[in-house]
């Protein structure tokens, strides 16, 4: 019986594919292929597939083995058992549970020297920065096998048995959530490199803690190893501390909804949206992108595309980037239609949003708190008619940083304007264009100035700001102007139906009633 093993190059990032080819009966060229997906966090041996083939395996597997490197069988089995130790440690189910066909797993290979593997996986000639990020990422996912293998010979002696280390190291951090890492400085002392870093973690008591560490790196044969790791200090960060990762600004849209079940089904049907928290009044979801490679510092916020907070009466969709919010709003309306109703948009610290949801307070009240801080802004909006659709798109495209086609007839643009010689927050402007119709939203800026920048070929239909909920102008309107406005908004709703569906065009009947132009019997 003959075995050949192959592995992908991502082991240092915490996951890899492993293929073990088992040959027997050479006359008939019978081949058994064992394919594994190994994850070195709590998931362990995530997937296992076995295939029996009676064809020339080299030709058949030529495409399958692209991106793999060949390794010795003992090293392959050591990787497999390292992953299985994670299943044991975290009490999770292994894909091998119940399998009796993997006869080559009967012996322990945990202590096999993986030096040849690390050289194949480019551990040679790593910079201190790259090594440190790989080590911290392994610490974050509790990848004790890699933490041990990255240690110097002297440190391994101090750590003791590898088997015990794999199952017990880092228990004091197990209940913590890693939020952020950063290298502060690197110093050279003879053959050693001294690296100072900090980690920011969320504790089981919901405190945000900053811990500073000192790493001593030692080079040998072109490979860096960790010779020592010391904690320097730790401190608790307040919710308003500038280094607190939970203290971040978001663009937020608020919606009413009529069918909570449909809304939950829409959220939970997306493979990239995850339930991340529950409280007495609601539920939190996050849309996440794949984790960054381990050779970079990690920041929990960089992996969040968009977030959703669902209470009994409202849905809040929020994101750090306007374009991400616009995409999700479009998808929400496309999926649920009139089951959701747009209310208002804001730019605010996420902690204020959580506070409003958890305490059941109106968000508008919290936005008025300490307004002098300048960290919260509802939008000012205007509805405009712009003859010459192509001209509008081209002019705005030149002025903005990002554009996105939401629908066949709907374009979205946004722009950030930093205020010169000022510590004040930037202004943010977004444009929705459908045909000759434009919805303009301005955060922390002057909407009159933005309207004037659009040139002379526009007609202002309606302007609205915070508090008036798109109901009235800043000055009284004559009956003639009111009815002209109603007519234009009605026409806008017919010619730009998706803007109306997204809640970006107000209801004419409701406006007329509030202005006294229509009396309901």
Write the pLDDT tens digit of every residue in 275-326.
888 887 789 999 988 665 566 778 878 889 999 999 988 999 999 999 999 9
DSSP 110-132: TT---HHHHHHTT-BT--HHHHH
Is residue 266 located within the same domain as residue 365? Answer: yes
* Residue 396 tokens, joined: 């705005």
Rounded distance, CA 499 to CA 476, Å? 27
Burial of 327-346, coded b for 16+ CB within 10 Å and e otherwise, reads: bbbbebbebbeebbebebbb
Residues facing 241 on adjacent strands: none
Examine residue 39 and state whether it is found in any structural domain, yes or no.
yes
Mean pLDDT of the chain: 83
Contact 366, 355 (CB under 8 A): yes
Examine residue 279 and state whether it is found in any structural domain, yes or no.
yes
Rounded-to-5 percentages of helix, strand, coil across the chain: 30, 35, 30
Examine residue 242 and state whether it is found in any structural domain, yes or no.
no
- Reference 434, options 501, 367, 481; nearest CA is 501
Residue 47 has pLDDT above 90, yes or no: yes
Examine residue 373 and state whether it is found in any structural domain, yes or no.
yes
Rounded distance, CA 97 to CA 175, Å? 26
Per-residue confidence (pLDDT) for residue 175, from 0 to 100: 86
Task: Give the other-Cβ count within 10 Å of 386's Cβ.
Answer: 20
Mean pLDDT of the region 484-491: 78
Is residue 290 located within the same domain as residue 389? Answer: no
Examine residue 54 and state whether it is found in any structural domain, yes or no.
yes
Last residue of a domain, one of 336, 353, 377: 377
- Residues 6+ positions from 90 with CB-CB distance below 8 Å: 42, 44, 142
Examine residue 243 and state whether it is found in any structural domain, yes or no.
no
Tell the burial category of 172 from Cβ atoms under 10 Å away from its Cβ (0-12, 13-18, 19+): exposed
DSSP 218-262: EEETTEEEEEEEEEEEEEEEPTT-TT-TT--EEEEEEEEES-HHH
Examine residue 197 and state whether it is found in any structural domain, yes or no.
yes
Per-residue confidence (pLDDT) for residue 371, from 0 to 100: 53
Q: How confident is the model at residue 250 (pLDDT cuts 50, 70, 90)?
A: very high
Distance of CA 382 to the CA centre of its chain: 32
pLDDT digits (tens, 9 = 90+) for 350-377: 888 888 887 888 877 777 665 556 677 7
DSSP state of 425: P
Is residue 113 located within the same domain as residue 142? Answer: no
Is residue 255 located within the same domain as residue 345? Answer: yes
- Reference 133, options 186, 209, 204; nearest CA is 186
CATH number where 159 lies: 3.10.450.50
Per-residue confidence (pLDDT) for residue 513, from 0 to 100: 54
Per-residue confidence (pLDDT) for residue 483, from 0 to 100: 65
Examine residue 151 and state whether it is found in any structural domain, yes or no.
yes
State how many domains the chain has: 4
pLDDT digits (tens, 9 = 90+) for 376-429: 777 889 888 887 656 677 778 888 888 888 888 888 999 998 876 655 678 999
Mean pLDDT of the region 438-458: 87
pLDDT digits (tens, 9 = 90+) for 116-148: 677 666 677 889 999 999 999 999 999 999 999
Task: Give the other-Cβ count within 10 Å of 41's Cβ.
Answer: 17
Last residue of a domain, one of 120, 143, 168: 120
Residues facing 68 on adjacent strands: 8
Rounded distance, CA 503 to CA 225, Å? 57
Task: Give the other-Cβ count within 10 Å of 420's Cβ.
Answer: 5
Is residue 425 located within the same domain as residue 514? Answer: yes
Rounded distance, CA 502 to CA 479, Å? 28
Q: How confident is the model at residue 61 (pLDDT cuts 50, 70, 90)?
A: low
- Reference 253, options 347, 344, 364; nearest CA is 344
If DSSP codes are grouped into helix, strand and coil, which group holds residue 418? coil
Last residue of a domain, one of 97, 120, 143: 120
Is residue 266 located within the same domain as residue 355? Answer: yes
Per-residue confidence (pLDDT) for residue 470, from 0 to 100: 41
Length of the chain: 521
Tell the burial category of 243 from Cβ atoms under 10 Å away from its Cβ (0-12, 13-18, 19+): middle
Residue 481 has pLDDT above 70, yes or no: no
Per-residue confidence (pLDDT) for residue 294, from 0 to 100: 63
Is residue 520 located within the same domain as residue 444? Answer: yes
Contact 264, 282 (CB under 8 A): no
DSSP state of 292: P
Residue 467 has pLDDT above 50, yes or no: no
Per-residue confidence (pLDDT) for residue 373, from 0 to 100: 62
Q: How confident is the model at residue 479 (pLDDT cuts 50, 70, 90)?
A: low
Is residue 311 located within the same domain as residue 415? Answer: no
| Greater pLDDT, 361 or 61 | 361
Contact 506, 489 (CB under 8 A): yes
Is residue 362 located within the same domain as residue 391? Answer: no
Is residue 332 located within the same domain as residue 221? Answer: no
Rounded distance, CA 36 to CA 23, Å? 17
Phi and psi angles of residue 454, each rounded to the nearest 5 degrees, phi first: -80, -10
Is residue 518 located within the same domain as residue 390? Answer: yes
Is residue 211 located within the same domain as residue 317? Answer: no
DSSP state of 299: B
Domain boundaries, position 512:
379-521
Give the pTM.
Answer: 0.72
* Runs of H (alpha helix) within 123-238: 128-140, 144-149, 153-159, 162-168
């Amino acid at each position: 019986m003959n075995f050949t093993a192959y592995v992908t190059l991502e082991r240092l990032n915490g996951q890899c594919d492993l293929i073990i080819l088992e040959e027997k009966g050479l006359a008939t060229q019978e081949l058994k292929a064992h394919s594994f997906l190994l994850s070195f966090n709590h998931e362990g041996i995530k997937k296992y597939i076995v295939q029996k083939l009676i064809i020339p395996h080299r030709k058949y597997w030529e495409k399958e083995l692209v991106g793999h490197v060949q390794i010795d069988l003992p090293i392959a089995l050591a990787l497999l058992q390292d992953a299985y130790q994670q299943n044991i440690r975290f009490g999770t189910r292994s894909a091998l549970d119940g399998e009796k066909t993997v006869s080559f797993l009967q012996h322990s290979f945990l202590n096999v020297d993986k030096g040849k593997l690390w050289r194949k996986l480019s551990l040679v000639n790593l910079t201190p920065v790259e090594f440190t990020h790989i080590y911290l990422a392994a610490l974050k996912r509790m990848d004790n096998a890699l933490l041990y293998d990255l240690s110097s010979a002297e440190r391994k002696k101090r750590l003791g048995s590898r088997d015990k280390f794999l199952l017990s190291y880092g228990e004091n951090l197990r209940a913590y959530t890693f939020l952020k890492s950063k290298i502060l400085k690197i110093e050279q002392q003879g053959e050693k490199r001294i690296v100072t870093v900090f980690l920011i973690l969320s504790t089981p008591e919901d405190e945000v803690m900053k811990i500073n560490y000192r790493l001593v790196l030692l080079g040998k044969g072109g490979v860096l190893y960790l010779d020592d790791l010391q904690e320097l200090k730790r401190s608790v960060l307040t919710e308003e501390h500038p280094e607190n990762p939970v203290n971040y600004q978001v663009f937020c849209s608020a919606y009413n909804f009529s069918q909570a079940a449909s809304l939950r089904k829409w959220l939970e049907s997306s493979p990239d949206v995850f339930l991340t928290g529950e409280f007495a009044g609601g539920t939190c979801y996050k849309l996440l992108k794949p984790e960054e490679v381990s050779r970079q510092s990690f920041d929990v916020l960089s992996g969040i595309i968009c977030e959703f907070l669902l209470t009994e009466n409202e849905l809040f969709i929020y994101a750090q980037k306007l374009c991400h919010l616009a995409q999700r709003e479009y998808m929400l309306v496309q999926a649920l239609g009139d089951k959701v109703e747009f209310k208002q948009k804001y730019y605010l610290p996420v902690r204020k949003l959580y506070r409003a949801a958890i305490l059941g307070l109106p968000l508008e009240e919290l936005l008025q708190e300490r307004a002098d801080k300048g960290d919260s802004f509802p939008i000012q909006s205007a509805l405009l008619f712009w003859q010459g659709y192509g001209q509008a798109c081209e002019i705005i495209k030149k002025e903005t940083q990002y554009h996105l086609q939401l629908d066949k007839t709907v374009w979205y643009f946004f722009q950030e304007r930093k205020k010169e010689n000022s510590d004040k927050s930037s202004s943010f402007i977004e444009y929705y264009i459908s045909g000759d119709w434009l919805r303009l939203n301005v955060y922390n800026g002057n909407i009159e100035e933005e309207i004037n920048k659009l040139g002379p070929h526009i007609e202002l239909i309606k302007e609205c700001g915070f508090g008036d909920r798109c109901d009235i102008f800043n000055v009284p309107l004559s009956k003639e102007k009111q009815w002209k406005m109603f007519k234009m908004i009605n026409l806008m709703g017919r010619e730009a139906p998706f803007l109306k569906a997204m809640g970006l065009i107000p209801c004419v009947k409701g406006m007329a009633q509030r202005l006294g132009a229509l009396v309901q019997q």
